[in-house]
């Protein structure tokens, strides 16, 4: 019985590993952004349908990082740098709304199709629309459901526009939400976010690392 259970657990781990890597490949090559969608498609492709074999979002994200490191390499680093520098300019442009960078551009998994995602904080959501209008930036309006914590969730206004050949995605949250980041869709924890100062530090650290690699070469 013990050996049979061990064998079953090993098979489940192997399936989770295969599913995580297939979902990561679908996200990298197919432009899928939703972890649940990538997970379902991977399960269909591999013919794996038991829930115990479904990987966690964090496992897929780790597999995505590995895929990008192996198959995209230096190009991924350059694309990410371009997006982070553009994000810094956007954070400075929206400074009056206490903006924060979130999502793939911050966590390092952004691909060539990934938008630059910012969260802006204001109790007057229309103020963001006016700011865009005054700057002559046409933007599309939509909404997004987020969980502020384990008890509160809601629909929040979103503005999307294109600049510098990149898509910018702005979620407008109430000012009180600045105290704690909304819960991540990757894991049920406050999502990572960065202010302009924190992003500047990250870019500076990257610059040092790049020069270090060049010197080593």
pLDDT attached to residue 90? 98
C-alpha to C-alpha distance for 133 and 126, rounded to whole angstroms: 10
Q: How does pLDDT run across 141-162, given as a tens digit for each residue?
A: 999 999 988 888 899 999 999 9
Report residues of the chain scoring pLDDT below 50.
217
Contact 160, 170 (CB under 8 A): yes
Domain ranges for the chain, please list them.
Answer: 2-71, 74-216
pLDDT attached to residue 91? 98
DSSP letter (8 states) at residue 183? B
What are the beta bridge partners of residue 158? Answer: 142, 171
Going by their DSSP bridges, the two strands 116-121 and 166-173 should be labelled as parallel
The token duo for 45 is: 């492709």
Those residues with Cβ within 8 angstroms of residue 159's Cβ, 6 or more apart along the chain or in another chain:
128, 129, 132, 139, 140, 141, 142, 169, 170, 172
C-alpha to C-alpha distance for 99 and 108, rounded to whole angstroms: 19
pLDDT attached to residue 212? 58
Number of residues that this document lists for the chain? 217
pLDDT attached to residue 24? 80
End-to-end CA distance of the chain: 55
- Cα torsion for 99, 102, 106, 109, to the nearest 10°? -160
Record: fold of 74-216: Beta Polymerase; domain 2 (3.30.460)
pLDDT attached to residue 72? 66
């Amino acid at each position: 019985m013990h050996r049979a259970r061990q064998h079953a657990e090993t098979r489940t781990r192997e399936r989770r590993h295969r599913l995580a890597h297939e979902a990561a490949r679908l996200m990298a090559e197919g432009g899928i952004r939703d972890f649940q969608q990538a997970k379902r498609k991977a399960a269909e492709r591999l013919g794996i349908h038991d829930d115990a074999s479904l990987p966690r979002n964090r496992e897929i994200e780790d597999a995505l990082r590995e895929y990008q490191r192996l198959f995209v390499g230096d190009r991924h680093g350059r694309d990410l740098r371009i997006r982070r520098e553009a994000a810094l300019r956007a954070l400075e442009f929206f400074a009056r709304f206490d903006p924060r960078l979130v999502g793939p551009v911050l966590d390092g998994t952004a691909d060539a199709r990934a938008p630059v995602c910012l969260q802006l904080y204001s109790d007057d959501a229309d103020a963001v629309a006016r700011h865009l209008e005054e700057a002559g930036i046409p933007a599309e309006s939509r909404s997004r459901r987020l969980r502020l914590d384990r008890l509160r969730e809601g629909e929040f206004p979103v503005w999307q526009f294109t600049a510098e050949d990149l898509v910018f995605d702005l979620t407008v949250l109430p000012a009180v939400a600045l105290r704690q980041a909304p819960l991540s869709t990757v894991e049920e924890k406050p999502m990572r976010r960065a202010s302009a100062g924190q992003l500047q530090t990250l870019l500076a650290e990257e610059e040092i690392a790049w020069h270090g690699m060049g010197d080593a070469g």
